[in-house]
Amino acid sequence: MASASCLSLLVVLVALASAASAQLSSTFYDTSCPRALATIKSAVTSAVNNEPRMGASLLRLHFHDCFVDGCDASVLLNDTATFTGEQGAIPNRNSLRGFTVIDNIKAQVEAVCNQTVSCADILAVAARDSVVALGGPSWTVLLGRRDSTTASKANAESDLPAPSFDLANLTQAFANKGLNVTDMVALSGGHTIGQAQCRFFRDHIYNDTNINSTLASSLQANCPRASGSGDATLAPLDATSPTAFDNAYFSNLVSQRGLLHSDQELFNGGGTDGTVRSFASSSSAFSSAFAAAMVKMGNISPKTGSQGQIRSTCSKVNGS
């Protein structure tokens, strides 16, 4: 009897989860704010043209948002004297960027449709438009997410995959969010753009053996072994084509030129080697897998209906 009730509860929970995703729709703003998507696209394209790295920063914001309590713009809530949210978490502190661009987009969208379009949806659309602006694939973004009223530093520190993770830890971190191994490898391909700080790749270039020796030496020149020295020095995640969204990241992995330990773990004699080789040899295979994985990631635990709120300003809860 107990197992039967547990099973029925499970069925209810699965149904509720499906219902939440089902409420997301590509046409959500067609009537309430028909100019929303064009407004976001224009602002993102301008920001990325002004600074190509911003495309990677906006993509990363969406990823870090979705992996912590779902895609609800909790990552955008500023820390205050009495509140430390996700921005103060170790993976995000002095690392996440693009907040001013998102604030600018939100202001433009608010001018077109007051308190209609959520910050969570702006992040999802901006991630897609950033990838497109840098030559990557497009996909249909499902919309209708609402914004959180809280943010969790602890969950950011426990749920975001760390650059020190091995393949097993990476696989588990993505599985915890309903993403399979192919999704994980494809989403890691987002590292075909952007840069990382020395503090995140120091261990890999000094302590790992599965890295091209010439690459390691060149990186060591600007990233000293001693922690606290040069921590914020930047290096491109994909040195081959750092501002082009392509499949060079995977070719780099095959030649042991991954910047992060977690990058190179995807091609290190484990179960993902074949997927990396496939994406390295076929840009279309990578593009389609990346687009599909982005849609799945964008569906992680959205707040819909009467949950959460539509923030007027993305960095703070309404009324605060």
Whole-number pLDDT of residue 115: 96
When the pLDDT of each residue in the chain is averaged and rounded to a whole number, the result is 94
Give the C-alpha separation, 18 to 5, whole Å.
20
Please check whether residues 145 and 236 belong to one and the same domain. no
Please check whether residues 127 and 176 belong to one and the same domain. no
* 246 annotated to a ligand binding site: yes
Find the domain containing 171 and state its range.
Answer: 167-298
- CATH number for the domain spanning 97: value is 1.10.520.10
Whole-number pLDDT of residue 6: 52
Please check whether residues 172 and 118 belong to one and the same domain. no
Please check whether residues 123 and 182 belong to one and the same domain. no
Whole-number pLDDT of residue 38: 98
Give the C-alpha separation, 26 to 141, whole Å.
6
Whether the pLDDT of residue 46 is over 60: the answer is yes
* 157 annotated to a ligand binding site: no
Structure tokens at 174: 């993505």
Whole-number pLDDT of residue 4: 55
Please check whether residues 155 and 178 belong to one and the same domain. no
* 65 annotated to a ligand binding site: yes
What is the pLDDT confidence band of residue 2, given thresholds at 50, 70 and 90?
low
More confident residue, 21 or 291: 291
Active-site residue identified among 62, 64, 204, 261: 64
The residue among 148, 156, 180, 50 whose CA lies nearest residue 104 is 50
As for how many domains the chain has, the answer is 2
**235-254 as b/e: b if 16+ CB within 10 A:** bbbbeebbbebbbbbbbbbe
Whole-number pLDDT of residue 5: 53
Whole-number pLDDT of residue 84: 87
Report pTM.
0.93
For the question of residue 64 being annotated catalytic, the response is yes
* 68 annotated to a ligand binding site: yes
Structure tokens at 297: 């990631």
What is the pLDDT confidence band of residue 201, given thresholds at 50, 70 and 90?
very high
Note the pLDDT tens digit of each residue in 116-160: 999 999 999 999 999 999 999 999 999 999 999 999 999 999 999
